[in-house]
Amino acid sequence: MGSCTQQQTAEPGSTLISGKVAGVEGKVYLLMERDHDLVKVDSSGISRGKFTLNAEMPSPEVVFIQLNSSDNLYRLFAEEGNIEIEVDPMQDDLQIVYGSAADQSMREAMEVLKPYDEELNHLFELFKNPKITLNAEVNDSISRLADDIYARQFEALNSWVMAHGSDPVAAYMVNKHLIYEADYDQLHAWAEMFGRSIPDSRYTQMLTERDGILMQSKVGSPAPDFMLPDADGNPVSLSSLRGQVVLIDFWASWCGPCRRENPNVVKTYREFHDRGFEILGVSFDNGRDAWLGAVAEDSLSWIHVSDLKGWQNSAGQLYGIISIPHTVLVDTNGIVLAHNLRGEDLRAKLEEILP
């Protein structure tokens, strides 16, 4: 004899995720990002290959599904209402059976990134090729090629974002992939666009918050002052260097792109230091030995400071730094001239402004 069962329905303002998984027992966890950490917000036992997870969902948001204590997290762009999924523990991705148009939108956006990621993977394989001798010239060439790929990827994804200006997925993709290379004007334009179309999205709110932070150090504004200890524990402030053109260089010993860029920075420093150019290196290291070891190894003869708090570095937070290397060029009066000038672009700017 057949039987009828009552289908669970998501409460208003929440998501109800019903899932199937084969060959796994134990528990399933639902994780959401809060304050830059993933937090478990719900869990479910697996019964006959099925589970149910629930969470408040006032606006569409990325969540993660974890099977027991596995390191593999299945990403899902969830939204209000019922969602049905299938999870194969042998695969890296889950399947949507029902619900969540947002997740399909995210998959479309990820396809935009895919060809450029493949180009980058191929390029970075060169670092593993024993037939290629890595020196400053080769590193510089690879970096320029990578910068070109990143620039084309940025433009492609930004075109997709601008065509989906009322989609929370677009705001998510900006936060996840685009803000690292964007200047203040671009970030401000995104914040305004999403602020009009989807103001309640947490990804819009994240952009609005970052917009406020970066406004303080945008080009033409007084550079926010800060004070950090040098290697001997002596406090050094940005304002103490007033009268010189200063490059604030946010970096770390463990940052590969930072270390590959250092030979270019050394060359520029030697060329322009006597003309009134100074560098204030702000390290995102946690350990003193690693920090100072990299300074010595790369022959970085300028001023170095750090509070050894990693990404919680106070100057980094003041300037809203979320990726390194990041540089800020400040003129003799303490006004921000530019962000992220490197190589020949930095050299040309210094040639223009220094006596």
Q: Could you read off the pLDDT of 287-302 as tens digits, one per residue?
A: 999 999 999 999 999 9
pLDDT tens digit sequence for 179-189: 988 888 999 99
pLDDT at 7: 58
Is it the case that residue 267 has pLDDT exceeding 60? yes
CATH number for 227-353: choose from 3.40.50.720, 3.40.30.10, 3.30.2130.10, 3.40.640.10.
3.40.30.10
Q: Once rounded to an integer, what is the mean pLDDT over residues 1-9?
A: 50
% of the chain at pLDDT higher than 90: 79
- Specify the range with the lowest mean pLDDT, choosing from 1-10, 38-47, 136-145: 1-10
- Could you tell me the fold of the domain covering 14-99? Immunoglobulin-like (2.60.40)
The pTM for the full model equals: 0.80
pLDDT level of residue 109 (50, 70, 90 thresholds) = very high
Contact 268, 347 (CB under 8 A): yes
% of the chain at pLDDT higher than 70: 97
Q: Once rounded to an integer, what is the mean pLDDT over residues 235-240?
A: 98
Average pLDDT, the chain: 92
The structural domains of the chain, with segments of one domain joined by +, span 14-99, 103-215, 227-353
Q: In what order do the strands lie in the sheet with 50-56?
A: 50-56, 14-21, 81-87, 95-98
Cis peptide, bond prior to residue 325, ω within 30 of zero? yes
- Specify the range with the lowest mean pLDDT, choosing from 47-51, 71-75, 129-133, 218-222: 129-133
Start-end of H helices in the chain? 101-124, 136-162, 168-173, 184-197, 202-215, 256-272, 288-297, 314-318, 343-353
The values of phi and psi at residue 139, to 5°, are: -60, -40
Q: From CA 326, how far away is CA 348, in angstroms rounded?
A: 18
Is it the case that residue 138 has pLDDT exceeding 80? no
Is it the case that residue 304 has pLDDT exceeding 60? yes
Beta bridge partners of 326: 250
